[in-house]
Amino acid sequence: MTSIVTPRGPSAETAPSGPSPEHPLKRSQRRIGEGIAMTVLRAAAGLSVVITVGIFVSLLIPSISFFREINAWDFLTGTRWAPTFSDPDFGVFPLITGTMWTTLIGLLIAVPIGLGAAVFLSEYAHDRVRRIFKPILEILAGIPSVVYGYFALFFVAPVVLKDLLGIQVGTFSVLAAGIVLGIMIIPTVASLSEDSLSAVPQSLREGSYALGANTMRTTLRVVFPAAISGITASIVLALSRAVGETMIVALAAGTRAQVVTNPTDNGQTMTGFIAQTATGESSPGSLTYNTLFAVGLLLFVVTFVINVIAGIIVRRIREEY
Amino acid sequence: MTGIGQLVAPPLRAHRHGERSAASIVFLIALWGAMAFAVLSLMVLLVDSFLDGSARLDVELFTKYTSQVLPERAGARAAILGSAFVIAVTAILAIPLGIAAGVYLEEFADNSRWYNKLIEVNISNLAAVPAIIYGMLTAGFALAIGLERRVVLAGGIALALLILPVVIIATREAVRAVPREIRHGSLALGATPLQTVWRQTLPGAVPGIATGSILALSRALGEAAPLLLLGGLVFVNYDPDGLMSGFTTLPIQIFNWASQPQRAFQEVASAAIILMLVLLLIMNALAIVIRNRYQNRW
């Protein structure tokens, strides 16, 4: 995931060219085994392209059958999502509002907290303090999303939101799911941003101090702008993870597909719909099964576009030191 | 002519620009607050799971199957064994393939060729594809080759696809860290490029690759989303016995229990969460030990 900003490594090594005429060594014999081994290595690398093509094909084929029955325009703009009802409707807009709410709430939590943690670790914390807090962020990143889902459903919604803050939420709400989603992606923002803040050369900070700026001014006016490409990349990556996250929203956001206008509402996201429908019975070829893949295709396209934009941003505004 | 007085003026005012100015202190408090929020969230999450589940951390969690009739005595036996089977398949598929691809890209690929550039961009994009999409890919693939969706092999394939980019990236970083002099020495002694990789570069990169692979497998162990697409992995009341056996895994079982209304299922879900977190902790500790003990310093 970090490879978006990873610099190119040293390029391939090649063997010294063939022996010169007076070279005492004979020309080495052909090595058939090595030829086979190279082919295997090359195939393994090429497999990643096959996987991408496979994703496209496996999403497209059922989606094409889906769009033969359902008008694509009605799918994208319809405001009633009821694919399994007796009078079915296939307007995906309610699922999109669900995803937008959880993602927005998640980013509202993760971006300030994650950036604060990154600035703290990179600019303020002493080595000893950093050695305590960095592993904590790593543990937070390693907790499975189903555990976060459990936490949202049985702790954040009933205890924190209802009892502690007195917010009227039901068992399921996009608010609880979004908050916990935000906690889950804090490490994504924090660790990538911290990497790019730490990569800003010390000389820039020293120059700023020499002009009389204190640590806060140096951080905000010098270090932060210099690291902005990595920070932007971290936020966009967090955005793409929030859109694609499944288990938290499947457990805590609810299963009622409605146009969400209030964060305390029960609402279904794109991933939540896929999870709910996939665990039920749906035989390949049925309209329900194809619906699953049409929503999957939409999800894939959205995250793909976000990732491409992230790549462009990084390349546009990257500063090399 | 500019006087020296004009150069130093205006005088610095410590109370407005120093480290102790009001704005600075508020800023620092905000940073501490951000850090504290992250730490507190983790603490509360761990304590809450432990309090909910400690009563059910008993022998039956390990020996009993899940039960709809008796949620108080439901266990995660099938899920524990299923996770072990699926992770084994994932490791066998993803680690050799990931290492091969990583070595090729780092050591042999000519980076100026368009197809190698394509592969590189592609791998970083794959790493950001939502996990659930890999489940759809696996379901489509299984349908195309006539493989039953809900078997161990399909689960292993789904998770292997998910972590393959992670293993590739970890391999590349580990291989890149081996100094060029070692390769040059080997080549100068007459070894072929492949012998150099096999006998010099790869052994030097093993600790890094092992650390990255264990972390990737721990991610696979906790991931449920792609497996949901394989369908019907919910009430499994038997041990998996091979590649073509039906299965469930710990995160799927937790998801299923947490979706049930009965309080007893919630308790056994958090007991299973504790078990899974302990497993993940062990894997992460192992990765850290390998990194610290065996990492080569060049």
Q: What is the CATH number of domain B59-294?
A: 1.10.3720.10
What is the reported pTM? 0.87
What interface predicted TM-score (ipTM) does this complex get? 0.88
Q: What is the sign, positive or negative, of the torsion defined by CA atoms of A165, A168, A172, A175?
A: negative
More confident residue, B293 or A224: A224
Q: Can you tell me the distance from the alpha carbon of A5 to that of A233, in angstroms, rounded to the nearest whole number?
A: 8
What's the whole-number mean pLDDT along residues A69-88?
A: 80
> CA B130, CA A226: separation in Å to the nearest integer?
30
Q: Which residue has the tokens 């307007």?
A: A91
CA distance B151 to B116: 35
* Mutation target among B16, B42, B49, B132 for the A interface, most CBs of A within 10 A: B132
pLDDT at A156 over 50: yes
Which one of A52, A216, A271 has the shortest CB-CB distance to B27?
A216
Which residues are bridge partners to B246 per DSSP? B151
**Can you identify the CATH homologous superfamily of domain A89-317?**
MetI-like (1.10.3720.10)
- Please choose, from the candidates B104, B89, B128, B237, the residue with its C-alpha nearest in 3D space to the C-alpha of residue A236: B128
- Show me where the domains of chain B are located: 15-56, 59-294
Q: Where are the domains of chain A?
A: 89-317
- Whether the pLDDT of residue A86 is over 90: the answer is no
H or E element, residue A81: strand A81-82
pLDDT digits 0-9 by tens, A264-295:
888 889 999 998 888 777 777 788 888 889 99
Residue with token string 């502690």: A164
Tell me which residue in B38, B111, B225 faces A275 most closely, judged by beta carbons: B225
With a CB-CB cutoff of 8 Å, which residues 77-116 of chain A face chain B? 112-116
Distance CA A25, CA A6 (A): 41
Chain A interface test: which of B27, B47, B148, B292 (most A C-beta within 10 Å) = B27
Which pLDDT belongs to residue A288? 84
How far does chain B reach from its first CA to its final CA, in angstroms? 58
How much is the pLDDT for B185?
94
Q: Nearest-CA distance from A29 to chain B in Å?
A: 11
Among A315, A320, A295, residue whose Cα is nearest residue A81: A295
Mutation target to probe the B interface, by most B beta carbons within 10 A, among A246, A251, A290 is A246
Q: Which of residues 177-236 of A touch B (CB under 8 A)?
A: 183, 186-187, 190, 212-217
Query: B31, A120 in Cβ contact below 8 A?
Result: yes
The secondary structure element, H or E, covering residue A129 is helix A127-142
Say which residues have a Cβ less than 8 Å from residue B217's Cβ, sequence separation at least 6.
B87, B90, B91, B163, B283
Q: How far apart are CA B132 and CA B226, in angstroms?
A: 4
Q: A86 versus A179: which is more confidently predicted?
A: A179
Query: What is the DSSP track for A237-286?
Result: HHHHHHHH--HHHHHHT-S------STTS----HHHHHHHHHHS---TTS
Chain A 35-64, CB below 8 Å of chain B: which residues?
A: 37-38, 40-42, 44-49, 51-52, 54-55, 57-59, 61-62
**CB-based burial label for B52 (10 Å; 0-12, 13-18, 19+):** buried
Decide if A276 contacts A250 (C-beta within 8 A). Answer: yes
Per-chain mean pLDDT for chain A: 84
Name the least confident of A18-27, A65-74, B90-99, B142-151. A18-27
The residue with greater pLDDT, A33 or A252, is: A252
pLDDT < 70 stretches in chain B: 1-17, 232-234, 296-298
pLDDT digits 0-9 by tens, B1-18: 444 544 444 444 444 567
Q: Is the dihedral of CA A185, A188, A189, A191 positive or negative?
A: positive
Q: What is the DSSP letter of A30?
A: P
d(CA A110, CA A102): 12
Chain B residues with CB under 8 Å of A41 CB are: 100-101, 103-104, 108
Contact B274, B50 (CB under 8 A): yes
Of B108, B173, B225, the CB nearest to A247: B225
Instruction: Residue B8: list chain A partners with CB under 8 A.
Output: none
Per-residue model confidence (pLDDT) at position B276: 93
Beta bridge partners of A190: none
pLDDT: which is higher, A6 or B128: B128
Closest Cβ–Cβ partner in A112, A149, A296 for B258: A149
CB contact under 8 A, A58 and B196: no
Alpha-carbon gap, residue A62 to A67, rounded angstroms: 9
Q: Give the range among A162-176, A183-197, B29-43, B202-216 with minimum mean pLDDT.
A: A162-176
